[in-house]
Amino acid sequence: MNIKKIMVIGAGQMGAGIAQVCAVSGYDVILHDTNAEALDHGFKGIEKRLARDVVKGKLSEDDKHASILRIKKTDAIDEAANCDLVIEAVVENMDVKTKIFSQLDQIAPAHAILATNTSSLPITEIAAATKRPDKVIGMHFMNPVPVMKLVEVIRGLATSDKVFETIKQTAESLNKTAVEVNDFPGFVSNRVLMPMINEAIYTVYEGVAEPEAVDEVMKLGMNHPMGPLTLADFIGLDTCLYIMETLHEGFGDDKYRPCPLLRKYVKAGWLGKKSGRGFYSYSK
């Protein structure tokens, strides 16, 4: 299948990043969000990052201009009718995602592939909201999308080999490394990462060490580029909690039980960098 036009649903940090790498790689892109402010913010973020790449010599001025021209902003999901691939990148919530996929199934052409950037939710369950489960697949990009090379490509129970190969090739055309993963809670990345972050939170909760000390140990002792609590703040503590709950429910194993301190911070609205406060303060 030849992918020419891609629609990205959700103009947040992940969606805007996905739209950017698709446009830079030569695809025509439709960036969709129902929130006009979020759509504007996402598009301006793309322009800012591309301008920074020009300054760094990673991109020419002409390529920057051409990439921006390839992106069309819209609040109308009906524009999926003209796309070969739709990548959903909205909030990590099964009800929201299945509603969107049910809509897309009615709108997108019969040949179109519907992909989700979910970081932990079952692809098979999302696919069940459509009448084309063979054309539904997981395409889990890492954050920040323009920098990180990995894309987890996750087959649902019914995903066809042809669709898998098309998405693998598409990911590689974005200068990414596609890694095949089966449909289990958290896939590989978050099944390994989130329990580590949760355990780091437990060390703070139990008074073993302060956040700064936990992060220093992991950076200097384990050669991690970023400490787990700093990373949690960047991901969003609400997202971390949701993924831990998905793992806990999916496996029924108490080793995935979210730390009470993580729940407390989320209830307090301390969501990390995006809210200005998490394990660290990000006040201007």
Question: CB–CB of 73/39 below 8 Å?
Answer: yes
Backbone angles phi, psi at 56, to 5 degrees: -80, -5
Catalytic residue among 67, 119, 120, 198: 119
Indicate the residue among 181, 201, 223 that finishes a domain.
181
Catalytic residue among 190, 199, 210, 248: 190
The answer on 60 and 23 residing in a single domain is yes
> Domain tally for the chain?
2
Q: What does the pLDDT read at residue 51? A: 97
Show the tokens assigned to 88.
């959903």
The answer on 177 and 223 residing in a single domain is no
Model confidence over 69-109: pLDDT tens digits?
999 999 999 999 999 999 999 999 999 999 999 999 999 99
Catalytic residue among 88, 92, 140, 198: 140
Model confidence over 99-135: pLDDT tens digits?
999 999 999 999 999 999 999 999 999 999 999 999 9
pLDDT band at 284; cut points 50, 70, 90: low
155 forms beta bridges with 137
CA distances from 69 to 10, 29, 43, 50, 72 (A): 19, 9, 11, 12, 7
Q: What is the mean pLDDT of residues 15-37?
A: 98
Compute CA 61 distance to the chain's CA centroid, rounded to the nearest angstrom: 28
140 is catalytic: yes
The answer on 198 and 171 residing in a single domain is no
Determine the 3-state secondary structure of 73 from DSSP: strand
190 is catalytic: yes
**Is position 52 within any domain?**
yes
30 forms beta bridges with 7, 72
Indicate the residue among 158, 181, 204 that finishes a domain.
181
Model confidence over 242-274: pLDDT tens digits?
999 999 999 999 999 999 999 999 999 999 999
Model confidence over 149-176: pLDDT tens digits?
999 999 999 999 999 999 999 999 999 9
Rounded to an integer, what distance in angstroms lies between the CA atom of residue 148 and that of residue 143?
6
Query: What is the domain-level CATH number for residue 243?
Result: 1.10.1040.10
**Is position 212 within any domain?**
yes
Rounded to an integer, what distance in angstroms lies between the CA atom of residue 21 and that of residue 8?
11
The answer on 169 and 30 residing in a single domain is yes
- Domain of residue 247, residue span: 190-274
The answer on 113 and 145 residing in a single domain is yes
**Is position 100 within any domain?**
yes
The answer on 88 and 30 residing in a single domain is yes
The answer on 209 and 170 residing in a single domain is no
Catalytic residue among 152, 160, 248, 249: 152
32 is catalytic: no
61 is catalytic: no
Backbone angles phi, psi at 214, to 5 degrees: -60, -45
Question: CB–CB of 274/283 below 8 Å?
Answer: no
Indicate the residue among 123, 147, 181 that finishes a domain.
181
pLDDT at 283 over 90: no
